Amino acid sequence: MEKFIQKCLMGQALPGDIDEHIQAWHEGDSRESLPLYLGMEPAEYARWIEDPEQLEAIIEAHRT
């Protein structure tokens, strides 16, 4: 299964779709932490939690 960040990079998801992916994590049986499930490092996840506007920058950082 592709991670949320990977889906964004491939054009299969938009940043605004993150809530759907979080809901899928809550409803699923993944043993991964939410940050890893989304494809983020813990520091990136913390940055996003502190400032949701940073999500696009986090995605872009994965592109390079």
Quote the CA–CA distance of 22 and 33 in Å, as a whole number: 11
Q: What is the pLDDT of residues 4-50, one digit of tens each?
A: 999 999 999 999 999 999 999 999 999 999 999 999 999 999 999 99
What pLDDT, on a 0 to 100 scale, did the predictor assign at position 64? 85
Tokens of 12: 């299969």
Quote the CA–CA distance of 30 and 7 in Å, as a whole number: 18
* Dihedral in degrees, nearest 10, Cα atoms 40, 49, 42, 12: -10
3-state secondary structure of 14: coil
- In terms of phi and psi (left: phi > 0; alpha: psi -120 to 50; beta: otherwise), the region of 20 is alpha
